[in-house]
Amino acid sequence: MPVWKSIKRLALALGLILVATPAIAQPGEFSVDEINPRVEDNLLAVDARIEYALGDTVIEALENGVELVITQTLRLERKRWWWSNATVINQQRRYRLQYHAISRRYVLTRLANGDSRSFRNLDSLLARLGNIEAWPVIHDDQLNASGHYDVVLMTQLELDTLPRLLRTVALVNADWKLRSPSVSHSVVLP
């Protein structure tokens, strides 16, 4: 009998370890930390800081050859007191993240123009991706009306670009649902 008790205890301990292991994995999170619209030479531009933290599951997939696509979405909305805000501009920047196992480098590619840079580590790539400087939004002469506007920024991991089998898992797994809340900043344009 004592042998069975020790086997049961060992099985219980192993079961608890297996159940607790997913809780130990670091979850990912995207957040827009700062957004600063400014007008220079009749052009509204935006500087912003976004914090990208990928979870262990997503990093493992990236390092095993899965390409990730991250989208940054910027909207300019005209404030209206009598109705919901009117969207004036809706722009997106899409980036592909890759890991090259042979060179052990992470590659960030802007999909609109194909510009790419490589980084020695993932943290450097994510820091560069999260540092937005002088994103041109609109010339003030293109606006129909002067007044109060909101600049709204958000970012997300695109699940539609994942390989089909992984996409199925990603749709039900919270580790893959990486999306920042929308953050807005008011600006008055002449």
* Chain centroid to CA 132: 13
| Structural domain of 169 | 26-54+68-95+123-189
Residue 10 lies in a domain: no
Residue 87 lies in a domain: yes
Element spanning 112, H or E: none
- Dump pLDDT digits (tens) for 78-102: 988 888 888 999 999 999 999 999 9
Residue 149 lies in a domain: yes
Residue 60 lies in a domain: no
User: How far is residue 158's CA from residue 116's CA, in Å, rounded to a whole number?
Assistant: 19
Residue 114 lies in a domain: no
Q: Tell me, what CATH number does 151's domain have?
A: 2.60.40
Residue 104 lies in a domain: no
Q: DSSP string covering 40-90, please?
A: ETTEEEEEEEEEEE--HHHHHHHHTT--EEEEEEEEEEE--SSSSPEEEEE
pLDDT at 21 (0 to 100): 42
Please tell me the least confidently modeled range out of 6-10, 61-65, 91-95, 129-133: 6-10
Residue 109 lies in a domain: no
Query: What is the total count of domains within the chain?
Result: 1
The CA-based angle 81-84-85, given to 5 degrees, is 85
pLDDT at 16 (0 to 100): 39
Residue 135 lies in a domain: yes
